Structure 1
Amino acid sequence: MVYIPTDIALAQSRRRHKINNLIHSGALLGGLGLLLSLTGWTLAGLEGMLLAVMAGALSVLFAPRVSPRMVLGFYGARRLSYTDAPGLFEVVRAVSARAGLASPPTLHCVASPTLNAFAVGGRDQAAVALTDGLLRALTLRELAGVMAHEISHIRNNDLFVMGLADTMASLTRLLSVLGAVLLMVNLPLLLLQREPLPWLAVLLMTVAPALGALLQLALSRTREYDADLDAAYLTGDPEGLASALDRVERVQGRLWEGLVLPRRSTSAGPSLLRSHPHTEDRIRRLLDLRTPPPVLHDLDHLPVHVAFPAADRRPRFRLSGYWY
């Protein structure tokens, strides 16, 4: 029996997970590119295929980058200071350093009772927004897992990857609509000349948008799995993130679905139509991981609360829900 040191076994396990996720992501991005190429080829042959690929590349290279400030302003986010949540800032600083980021992302709070967090920007200019409901509901240990998950998205350039996938899916939908319009315009001529309808092209134009959307959703789920894996290794505490996911699942279910659909799980729905994997599956994968010892200590049962001044944050109704 050959003895393998623990750190070597952990490194091999992580490398295996990362390689599988990279292959999966590459295959899905390749599928989106192939679908875009086939749609262009159906419209105008080889030239159409080349033009479709060039259009996708140019749109990614020269598309205007939305600044994090603009996105955060859309949500009405307020930037947090160190005095608002010193424990949370220390966690973000430690996790960012372990992730190799040049500087920690700025922290912002969205006044909303929902439990959510999201990252915006890139590695050079990043921000993470957390809802007030999330800050009130999770312990600092659970928030550490959530922040490590978002920082993993930033480090892995997932925002760029998903933007690339969205560009290819959008171009595929545009070409499909253009193909349908051209078919309708030329349909009388084809019938008068008794030309056979290009059924293969019609079928491709019909299913291409749906296939693109499914590939995009599958890529999103893969990137979520990868961020979970990296978050567990950044903190050395997969149970913290698993606990956060479980708490969010239970609280969100009570808050939104309990009134209309009692005892219905928030993870219900076909897996193919979800942008995030089932929570139960994410928790199972996290608990099956072998990670290094925790790098953040004494985080249990330390709640984080961010107070808002009553003068400028009165309860108001917004189209997106009640903000307080």
Structure 2
Amino acid sequence: MTRIDDQLRTAMRRRNVFHTWLLAAGSIALLTGCAYLIAGPVGVVWAVVGGAISLSVAWGVSPKMVLRLYRARPLPPHAFPEGQRVVADLADRAGLPHAPALWYVPSRMMNAFAVGRNDEAVICVTDGLIRGLTAREFTAVMAHEISHVAADDVKVMALADVTNRMTGILSMLGFFMLFFSLPAILMGQVESVPFFGIALLLVAPTLGGLMQLGLSRAREYDADLSALQLTGDPHGLASALVKLERIQGRMWEALALPHGRIPNPSLLRTHPETKERVRRIMALAGGPDDRAGPDATARPPVGRSIIPVTGPPRYRMRGLGHWY
């Protein structure tokens, strides 16, 4: 296990928590401002009521409803015992009441994601992820996903999503009201035009979307830190991130722009840039990588697939050679 710089990790954790609260509070303040501009205090009350109802519905959605969209299947313990043991051990270290269930997506894309609350969480993995990562890298990725579960990031991002959607709806409603008021404004029947309010309604959806993306990146940084606390292996997590970026992250660029790069500003990313994530992770490595050796590159034996195919892929993207 590599020695972690605990002082630096604590400083990074505080910064991530500050960014999380700042962005969440900013999103709520933006929604409140839009509601007040449209209907005054009554609009704020209705925004609170609507937001509470939407959040209760979003938080009550069963993970299985989401997994049906991906044609996911439960992963039997005998099919991938190594992965089941890894998830159970990490969940115990994270203090979860139950180990998340492993589900399988018959896709050759390399991906993993967690859904559900910490008492009924599910971690989905693709065949491409299991076959493409070493045991060490797979452990690091599972630690990252379990960190999302332990921090209830699903609830955090549901709050951000509901707030952003309601802000967009209020912005659209405000412009409908402005459109129907144009005749009165042009005829001089309106004493003063609230130019500041109009400007705020105009930029509100964009500002809300940017804050939601920023919140997502802050939670990714924090999940990286929590994963290191679970595994004590920054090299394994960095290796997994670089591999995912190299193998999976450039597929669409190769399709759309074979000899160039698609501009992707950091403000418009749901995940931080891999280079920056790796830089932060490796800054915490206070000592040499003492795990390098046979175990660092060990893979479970694979044939055509180490997981029995439980159903057909969703569809094939012709010309790319990938299933999704």
Bin of the TM-score, shorter chain as denominator length = 0.7 to 0.9
2:109/2:323 contact within 8 Å kept: no
Higher relative contact order at CA 8 Å, sep ≥6: structure 1 or structure 2?
2
Distance change in 2, residues 1:264/1:157 (3 Å): farther
1:61 deviates by 3.3
Partner deviation per Cα, 1:11-36 (whole Å, 9 max, x = no partner): 44333222221111000000001100
Is 1:237 paired with 2:236? Answer: no
Of all paired residues, the percent bearing the same amino acid is 43
Residue aligning to 2:48: 53
Residue aligning to 1:208: 204
1:192 deviates by 2.0
Residue aligning to 2:112: 117
* 2:284 corresponds to which of 286, 289, 302: 289
79-88 vs 100-109, which moves further = 79-88
Amino acid in structure 1 at the alignment position of 2:171:
S
**SS of residue paired to 1:84:** coil
Is 1:300 paired with 2:296? Answer: yes
- Counterpart-to-counterpart distance in 1, 2:226 and 2:32: 33
Distance change in 2, residues 1:287/1:265 (3 Å): farther
1:112 deviates by 1.3
Is 1:323 paired with 2:323? Answer: yes
- Counterpart-to-counterpart distance in 1, 2:13 and 2:314: 45
Amino acid in structure 2 at the alignment position of 1:207:
V
- TM-score, structure 2 length as denominator? 0.88
**SS of residue paired to 1:109:** strand
Runs of 5+ unmatched residues, structure 2: none
Residue aligning to 1:251: 247
- Counterpart-to-counterpart distance in 1, 2:310 and 2:146: 33
Residue aligning to 2:78: 83
2:104/2:125 contact within 8 Å kept: yes
Is 1:43 paired with 2:38? Answer: yes
- Counterpart-to-counterpart distance in 1, 2:77 and 2:155: 29
Instruction: Map 1:185-224 onto structure 2 (within 5 A).
Output: 185-195=180-190, 196-224=192-220
Partner deviation per Cα, 1:221-275 (whole Å, 9 max, x = no partner): 0000000011011100011111011011111255443344346568x51111111
Is 1:138 paired with 2:133? Answer: yes
Amino acid in structure 2 at the alignment position of 1:317:
R
1:94 deviates by 1.3
- Counterpart-to-counterpart distance in 2, 1:70 and 1:323: 21
- Counterpart-to-counterpart distance in 2, 1:63 and 1:25: 20
- Counterpart-to-counterpart distance in 2, 1:12 and 1:234: 16
Distance change in 2, residues 1:218/1:170 (3 Å): same
Residue aligning to 1:3: none
- Counterpart-to-counterpart distance in 1, 2:88 and 2:286: 20
**SS of residue paired to 1:145:** helix
Distance change in 2, residues 1:314/1:262 (3 Å): closer
2:109/2:322 contact within 8 Å kept: no
RMSD of aligned residue pairs (Cα, Å): 2.9
Distance change in 2, residues 1:137/1:311 (3 Å): closer
2:79/2:307 contact within 8 Å kept: no
1:58 deviates by 3.5
